[in-house]
Every structure is written in C-alpha cells, then in structure tokens.
C-alpha cells in the first residue's frame, strides 16, 4: 500500500522570514529517508508540511500520482509518530489505536483485527487495556507506532521519535524500527538531529542546512564524500578536523598542501586549475590518521586530552601553531596527555574545502 | 548547620501552630454547631432560653415540619434548578469559548479575549439596574430562566477553560487531525475529556456561587414561590422567627446547607486544587 513521495519546489515563508527555500525531493516507494540537520534548519517543518500540519507557501507535494498538499491531514494517507508520542491520555492503548479507524467508519471486526495484529507485531498485546499514564516511555512509543501501523498508510512520518528515550532503549528501538521497515516495506520519513540514527536507519539521508537541502545521499556517500564543509563537520563523531591551508602544489597524482603548523601533506585530490588556497582547509577524520614512529613522515601532535572509548582511543591535540587535530589510536593506546606523537594521514582519505565550503575528494579507494 | 526537620524546636513550633489552628477552627465551627444543636431542639423549650441546647431531649420535629408544611422544600428545588442549570450552562459555554480562544483562528480573537477578561473587573452592582430593566422588558423576572441566565456568561470560566485548553499540547490535536477527526470530534472526544479537572473546579465554584447567590434572586424573584433558599430563609427570619421558633430556623439553615456540604465532601480534593492554583495534585 506504500507509495512514492514527490516534493516539488516547496517554499515556506512566515511573513518575510523564509523557513524553507525551493525544496525538491523524490522519495522512492518503500524507501527509508532521514531528514538530518541542526535545530532550525527546517526539517521538522518539511515533515509537517507533508503531513498537512503546516501550509505550504509555494510548490506541491504528491504521494504516488496524487497531489496531496490541498487535502486535510487525515485524508493524505499518511501516519505520523510524534516526538512526544501525542497519545490520547484518557483512552486505553486499544482506543488510541482504534480512534483513527473509527473516524473513517472502518467495521468493528476489521478494527479489532488490525489493532490485535499491530499489537502482536509490537509486542504490546498485554497492554491494550492500559492508559498511557500507566505505560513506560518505550511502551508509549510502541503504542504511537501501533496507532500509525493500524491505519495502513501510504507513508510513515517520524518526528524525532527516539529523543525522549534513554540511551539503551533508543538503541534497541532503532533496531526495531529498522526491522519494522523491512517487515512492512513502507515508505518512511524520519526526522532527527542525531547522526547515529540517520546513519543506521536510512536508505538515503537528506542533510538540511539554512532552509535548503545541502546533500542527498546514502549514509556512506554522505560520510565519505560530503559535498560541503558543513556536511563534513556535521556528520561524524568526533567531527572532522579542519586544518588551514597555506599553499597548494600540483603533483603527478594530485596535490600536496602546506598545512599551517604541520608542513606538507600529500593527497590524491585533483583540484581545478583556478582553485585558490585562500581560506581553504584540509579536512581529516580521526579514523584516517595513524600514529607512526618519529622516523616516518607525518604531523607532530601535542596531546591535550585523551578520550578512551574502549575499542579505540581519541587523541585531541594541537599542531605547532595551535591548530587543533583529532587523531585515533587503538583501544590499548599508552599515549598520555602531554605526549608528542607523530601522525600520518592517508593521502586518499583527506578532503579539501575551498573558501565557500565546497568539497573536493580523492576518488581513489582508501 | 541545617536545622533538622524533626528537631525539638521544630516540633514545639508545630505544636503551637496546631493549637492556634485548632482554636481558629473551633471559633469558626461554633456557630455551625450551635445552629445544628438548635435544629434538634423543641421550639417551646428554646423560647425559655437557648442554653437548653446543651441538655436532653433532642427531637427531629423541626425537620419533619420542613418536609410537611414549610415552603423550604420549594425554595430548595428552586435553588437546585438554578444552581444545576447555571453549572451546566457555564461549563458548556465556557468550554466552547475556551476551546475557540485557545485553538481556533478567527478575526479579532485577541481583542475579544481581552474584552472577556474585562468582564472580570466589572462588579455585578455596576450592571444590575440595566440587567433588571432588560429582564423586565422580556418578562423574565420570577422565572427560573431569569435566575439562571445572567451568570451563564462567566468571564472567570472562559478564562480558566482557555488557559486549560492552551496547556494541552497541540500535538494531541494534530494527532487527532491525522486520525481524520473533525474539529467538533477533536473538541468533544479528545480535548474536552482532558479538561475534566478544570471542569470539576469550575463546576464546583459555579454551583456553590449559584447556591449561595443572594443579590440577583433578591431582585428577580419577588414572588414567594420563586424564592431560592437564600432569599426564603432570609424572609423567614423576619416573618417566622417568633411564631415558628429558632429550632425550625436552625433546621431550615441545616437543610439549606446540605447540598453545599455534600459538594465539599465529594469534591474537596478539586476544591483544594482550585484554591491553591493547581499547586496541589
């Protein structure tokens, strides 16, 4: 029953303030798409516009072949799970799940069948006669998902549904959502500012920034080939280190950049002939660094803070001129704060960003 | 050093407060106990001296007389009709208006709400003459409708319900909209049940206010068969005190207070919540 969603030239303005600017997006039937971005980027507004809870200023939205932006929310064939779950507090779990079906006059037998089936899938069949006040956060979340499932919608919308759960439950629910998507095969749109949720759940991630779509891609495309400095810094934990570039020299296999406080770094990136080194930066992810002996070539890093994560150790340090760089070592690292280590960087894994934040990557395998 | 909650000083201070509160309670309850005592005494005995209230025998004759011969039962019914009618009317109108002010978009919404709030500042005395004339024109004096109508538009009620509806998260409405519920169904099935605590508070206050109202019934109900209890009892104090006696008057007062006492007993939790501004749950 699921369908594709087409968002065409959507703009949203409140008086003179533009909240979304000319958004175009096509979501495939059965695809799991995550809107990811910082607070205020417009991702929730876009979701609410698809749901019909916000009007659109310009553009149109289609589900399948049908234009839906002119229809009231209840007639769009979508279901939404809210951050606060928005369960009806005076109704039992069963009544919460059945309410939407009663409104469209579905037969009682059919309502019971759908509610019982959904409750079984979500393992909440023993909670059907409880009111939300007597449910835990995780159980409420399941009921909210159950309320969406029984409607058999063309698309599911999730507005940061995991943010009210504790870390352990969030991880488990994330996995269950992924399984639910596989089982139902429905089109799902999920809004979050949590990149782990985005990376683990999405078929494709839509990165939003300053009222626009910054990048659309699979999680690995977004991570390995960010189109801009914003995406590179926003996605990934710890964030990508940015080292100011003083000079660029073309070489046979790419460019060698002279990095402030660290000397020369060889890369396999090819830059356009008119590329300017002014305000350009070299981006390095912590996992693309390796600690090497002082005899080898590399950047000398003075360690300031060490973060031990068990399987790996993050080394937060500074280069000779004070530029910050985060490097990674194994979980058994003996490095201490105050040590000076030499760090080597893979020439294929670095990124260069020009003064406008536009990214250039090496397209050789790392 | 932090003082312990149950230090000897604390307990002494608590004990002192207890005795002050107990003394104040006794002062407040003494007239009530006095009236109850009088209501169980024979009128002839009380004529010789009210100290008879402390000695046997006690009798139910005053209460049986109320049910047999006095007009009190009629006044009681009038008060009940007015109080119940006013309570339901205020709840309905305040809920509808509160929902509209809190949730619906319509022209001059803010201005109209401010005008409603102004109603809180206008004393009844300021409008009573105009109201009297209007009800006279429409021939509504000495009718139940005439006694109920003036207090149906409750500025306090609209304000209370508006604030309560505003406090309900909008996601609840939005979830219901996505569940294909109409505006009326969202109001009736989803939001109104959530305002039950506010309805209870407003209902209790409206009922008590209507039951105890003296000013408007005094003006509007001029015929004895349309008297409410407050007006009826006041008139008997001048007319019957000598002939029917203090015991009978006491029984009338106790009879008149019964619904109020019952309301207090059953809804005391909501009353405490209401007067403490929702601080007590």
Residue-wise pLDDT for A43-87, tens only, equals 999 999 999 999 999 999 999 989 999 999 999 999 999 999 999
**CB atoms A82 and B174 under 8 Å:** yes
Q: Give pLDDT, residue B7.
A: 72
Across the interface, whether the CB atoms of B177 and A52 are under 8 A apart is answered yes
Round to whole Å and give the CA distance between B65 and B30. Answer: 25
User: Which of A77, A85, A87, A100 best tests the B interface by mutation, with the highest count of B CBs <10 A?
Assistant: A100
Q: Which domains does chain B have, with CATH numbers?
A: 8-63 (no CATH), 70-239 (1.10.3720.10)
Q: Which of B171, B178, B194 is nearest residue A79 as measured by Cβ atoms?
A: B178
Instruction: Give the end-to-end CA distance of chain A in Å, rounded to a whole number.
Output: 41
Predicted local confidence at residue B274, as pLDDT: 56
Interchain contact, A103 vs B185, CB within 8 Å: yes
Going by C-alpha positions, the residue among B193, B172, B180 that lies closest to residue A102 is B180
* Residue A281 near residue A229, CB atoms below 8 Å: yes
Inter-chain touch A53–B177, beta carbons under 8 Å: yes
Answer whether A84 sits within 8 Å of B169, measured CB to CB.
yes
Stated length of chain B: 281
C-alpha distance from A180 to closest chain B C-alpha (Å)? 21
Give tens-digit pLDDT for A266-279: 888 988 888 888 88
Determine contact: B179 vs chain A, CB below 8 A.
Answer: yes
What is the chain A residue with the closest CA to B174?
A53
pLDDT digits (tens, 9 = 90+) for A207-218: 999 999 999 999
Give the sign of the dihedral formed by CA B86, CA B91, CA B95, CA B96.
negative
Q: How many CA atoms lie within 13 A of A14 on its CB side?
A: 5
Across the range A113-142, mean pLDDT stands at 92
Query: How many interface pairs between A and B have CB atoms less than 8 angstroms apart?
Result: 59
SS3 B143: coil
- Let me know if A64 is exposed, middle or buried by CB neighbors in 10 A (0-12, 13-18, 19+): middle
Q: What is the pTM of this model?
A: 0.80
A6 or B32: which carries more pLDDT confidence? A6
Q: pLDDT for A80-122, tens place per residue?
A: 999 999 999 999 999 999 999 999 999 999 999 999 999 998 8
- pLDDT at res. A360: 93
Nearest CA in chain A to B169: A86
DSSP class of residue A310? Answer: S
Phi, psi of A334 (to 5 degrees): -100, 0
Band of the pLDDT at A135, cuts 50, 70, 90? very high
CB contact under 8 A, B180 and A88: no
* pLDDT recorded at residue A364: 62
Q: Which residue has the higher pLDDT, B122 or A156?
A: A156
- Provide the pLDDT for residue B212: 87
Residues of B in contact with A80 (CB under 8 A): 174-175, 178
The token pair that represents A175 in the structure block: 């996995």
Q: What is the pLDDT of residue B276?
A: 54
Give me the helices (H) in B104-228, please.
109-121, 124-137, 144-148, 155-167, 170-178, 183-185, 196-212, 215-220
Assess contact for A148 and A184: CB atoms under 8 A.
no
Which of B173, B180, B188, B190 should we substitute to test contact with A (largest number of A Cβ atoms within 10 Å)?
A: B180
Interface contact flag, B172 A86, Cβ < 8 Å: yes
DSSP A35-87: EE--TTSSHHHHHHHHHTSS--SEEEEEETTEE-TTS-GGGSSEEEE-TT---
What burial class does residue A306 get, using C-beta atoms within 10 Å of its C-beta: 0-12 exposed, 13-18 middle, 19+ buried?
middle
All structural domains of chain A? 5-226 (3.40.50.300), 238-361 (2.40.50.140)
Share of chain A above pLDDT 90, in %: 69
Q: What tokens does A332 get?
A: 């058994």
A122: left (phi over 0), alpha (psi -120 to 50) or beta: alpha
A283-323 pLDDT, tens digit per residue, is 999 999 999 988 888 889 999 999 999 999 999 999 988 89
Is B175 in Cβ contact with A80 (below 8 Å)?
Answer: yes
**pLDDT lower than 70: segments of chain B:** 1-6, 69-70, 237-244, 270-281
């Amino acid at each position: 029953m699921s369908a594709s969603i087409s968002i065409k030239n959507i703009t949203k303005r409140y008086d003179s303030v533009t909240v979304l600017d000319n958004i175009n997006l096509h979501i495939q039937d059965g695809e799991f798409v995550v809107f990811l971005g910082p607070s205020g980027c417009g991702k929730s507004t876009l979701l609410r516009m698809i749901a019909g809870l916000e009007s659109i200023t310009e553009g149109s939205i289609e589900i399948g072949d049908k234009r839906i932006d002119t229809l009231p929310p209840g007639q769009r064939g979508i279901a939404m799970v809210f951050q606060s779950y928005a369960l009806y507090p005076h109704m039992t779990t069963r009544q919460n799940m059945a309410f939407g079906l009663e409104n469209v006059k579905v037969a009682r037998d059919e309502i019971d069948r759908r509610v019982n089936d959904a409750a079984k899938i979500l393992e909440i069949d023993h909670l059907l006669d409880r009111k939300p006040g007597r449910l835990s956060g995780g159980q409420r979340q399941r009921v909210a998902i159950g309320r969406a499932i029984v409607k058999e919608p063309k698309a599911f919308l999730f507005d940061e549904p995991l943010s009210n759960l504790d870390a352990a439950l969030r991880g488990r629910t994330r996995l269950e959502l992924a399984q639910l998507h596989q089982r139902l095969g429905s089109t799902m749109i999920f809004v979050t500012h949590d990149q782990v949720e985005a990376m683990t759940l999405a078929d494709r991630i839509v990165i939003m920034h300053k009222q626009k779509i910054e990048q659309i891609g699979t999680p690995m495309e977004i991570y390995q080939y960010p189109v801009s400095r914003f995406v590179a810094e926003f996605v990934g934990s710890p964030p990508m280190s940015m080292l100011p570039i003083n000079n660029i020299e073309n070489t046979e296999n790419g460019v060698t950049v002279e990095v402030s406080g660290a000397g020369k770094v060889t890369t396999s990136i090819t830059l356009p002939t008119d590329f300017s080194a002014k305000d350009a930066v070299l981006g390095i992810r912590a996992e693309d660094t390796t600690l090497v002996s002082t005899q080898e070539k590399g950047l000398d890093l003075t360690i300031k803070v060490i973060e031990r994560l068990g399987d790996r150790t993050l080394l937060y340090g500074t280069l000779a001129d004070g530029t910050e760089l985060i490097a990674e070592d194994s979980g058994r690292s003996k490095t201490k704060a105050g040590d000076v280590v030499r760090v080597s960087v893979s020439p294929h894994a670095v990124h260069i960003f020009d003064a406008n934040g536009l990214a250039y990557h090496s397209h050789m395998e790392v | 050093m932090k003082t312990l909650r149950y230090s000897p000083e604390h307990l002494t201070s608590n004990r002192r407060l207890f005795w002050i509160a107990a003394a104040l309670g006794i002062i407040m309850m003494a007239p009530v106990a006095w009236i109850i005592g009088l209501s169980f005494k024979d009128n002839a005995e009380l004529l010789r001296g009210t100290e008879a209230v402390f000695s046997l025998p006690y009798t139910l004759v005053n209460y049986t007389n109320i049910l047999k011969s006095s007009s009190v039962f009629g006044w009681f019914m009038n008060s009940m009709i007015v109080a119940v009618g006013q309570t339901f009317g205020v709840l309905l109108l305040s809920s509808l208006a509160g929902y509209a002010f809190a949730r619906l978009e319509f022209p001059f919404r803010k201005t109209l709400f401010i005008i409603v709030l102004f109603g809180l500042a206008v004393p009844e005395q300021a409008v009573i003459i105009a109201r009297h004339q209007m009800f006279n024109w429409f021939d509504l004096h000495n009718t139940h409708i005439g006694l109920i109508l003036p207090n149906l538009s409750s500025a306090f009620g609209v304000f209370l319900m508006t604030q309560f509806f505003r406090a309900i998260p909008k996601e609840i409405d939005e979830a219901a909209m996505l569940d294909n519920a109409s505006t009326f169904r969202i109001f009736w099935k989803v939001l109104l049940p959530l305002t039950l605590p506010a309805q209870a508070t407003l209902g209790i206050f409206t009922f008590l206010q209507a039951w105890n109202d003296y000013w408007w019934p005094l003006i509007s109900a001029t015929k004895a068969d349309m008297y409410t209890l407050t007006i009826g009892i006041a008139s008997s104090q001048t007319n019957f005190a000598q002939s029917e006696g203090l015991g009978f008057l006491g029984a009338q007062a106790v009879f008149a207070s019964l619904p109020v006492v019952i309301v207090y007993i059953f809804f005391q939790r909501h009353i405490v919540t209401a007067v403490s501004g929702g601080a007590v749950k």
